[in-house]
Amino acid sequence: MRRRAQTDSDLIARVRAGDQDALDVLHGRYYPRLYKLAYVRLGSADDAHDVASETFVRAILHVRQLHPLKTRSLYPWLHAVAMNLITDFIRRRSVRRHASLDDRTSSELMSYIEQIANGSPPPDQVLHRKEVQETIRAAIASLPEAQATSVLYRFLGEMSIREMAEAMGRSEGAVKSLLHRAIVTLRTRLSPQAARRATSVLEEEQHVHRQSLKIHR
Amino acid sequence: MSIDSLSRYIDDLLNAEEPDARSYVAGLPGGGRELLPLLATARAVHIALRSIEVDRERANQSQERARKTLNEVLNSHEGPGRK
């Protein structure tokens, strides 16, 4: 794992003493990750910013509880706070799911994955397209909870396997296995066939919704 | 073992290296044909998550809000470091 110039524990101690600069460093380190976590879960940029900002406010209000840290990284604690807020958001409104899954996007993604697997130079531009990001976002959001957490801890939290094991209360082998399963699931869900199934489910849901509107008129 | 290879590959991705997926499957049964698509999927997830853009203005607003909250907490009866 990358070595952090200033550890989270040091920064938290400074924040507890009222050091605004230390707070800025923590905010710069974690706000983007919390935003992305909320964006993956909610699919809304506006809501994701609200969640990330509120998470920091709650962290400051409870900063006394952050010492000593269970892990070297503050990320698991912030992740848990953000997830509570995200759950509240999901309860209050319906969250967009699978909206952008389509055959073309999935085919592009599969082509990208096959090219890497074949050793070709990866054309990463495809991953910067909104539709592709949305497809991957929806696939992560639809993972079983533990698998989704493992992906988000690893890729957004940039946590090591050991840190994840501590945070999740599992052995390192179990965490590696969980992450492996998550990637297998994602590989399957990003396939064009899975996209077709998701699209047909979405169309079916929309059809049922339209029928129910007709009945209530 | 493929689970360990995947884990090492993700470590290298997170350390901003440009890992060649094929070097992680050397010596695995069947040439690691089943593992390669998983490494590629991990790479796609990594880049897609990294590429999500964060609105700087909203981030700055949040930073200001956090500073203000810290000031309020420090000025309240029980500061953040006090019991």
Are A137 and A48 spatial neighbours (Cβ–Cβ below 8 Å)?
Answer: no
Residues of chain A in contact with residue B75, where contact means CB-CB under 8 angstroms, are none
Which of A16, A17, A133 is closest, CB to CB, to B51?
A133
Of the residues B24, B54, B65, the best mutation for testing chain A's interface (the one with the most A CB atoms within 10 Å of its CB) is: B54
A112 at the B interface (CB within 8 A)? yes
Segment A66-106, tens digit of pLDDT: 765 666 788 999 999 999 999 998 888 765 554 445 667 77
A186 at the B interface (CB within 8 A)? yes
Identify the residue with better confidence: A133 or A28: A28
A141 at the B interface (CB within 8 A)? no
Mean pLDDT is lowest, of A43-52, A112-121, A199-208, for A199-208
Residues of chain B in contact with residue A148, where contact means CB-CB under 8 angstroms, are none
CA-to-CA distance for A145 and A187, rounded, in angstroms? 17
Angle between helices A75-92 and A145-155 (to 10 degrees): 130
- Confidence (pLDDT) at A199: 45
Instruction: Indicate the average pLDDT of chain A.
Output: 81
Which of A28, A132, A183 is closest, CB to CB, to B48?
A132
**What would the 3-class secondary structure string for chain A be?**
CCCCCCCHHHHHHHHHCCCHHHHHHHHHHHHHHHHHHHHHHHCCHHHHHHHHHHHHHHHHHCHHHHCCCCCCCCHHHHHHHHHHHHHHHHHHCCCCCCCCCCHHHHHHHHHHHHHHHCCCCCCHHHHHCHHHHHHHHHHHHCCCHHHHHHHHHHHCCCCCHHHHHHHHCCCHHHHHHHHHHHHHHHHHHCCHHHHHHHHHHHHHHHHHHHHHHHHHC
Residues of chain B in contact with residue A53, where contact means CB-CB under 8 angstroms, are 58, 61-62, 65-66
Angle between helices B36-51 and A172-189 (to 10 degrees): 80
- Tell me, yes or no, if the pTM score tops 0.90: no
Which of A53, A60, A160 is closest, CB to CB, to B80?
A60
Mean pLDDT is lowest, of A81-90, A128-137, A160-169, for A128-137
Size of interface A-B (CB pairs under 8 A): 154
User: Up-side HSE of residue A13: CA atoms within 13 Å toward CB?
Assistant: 7
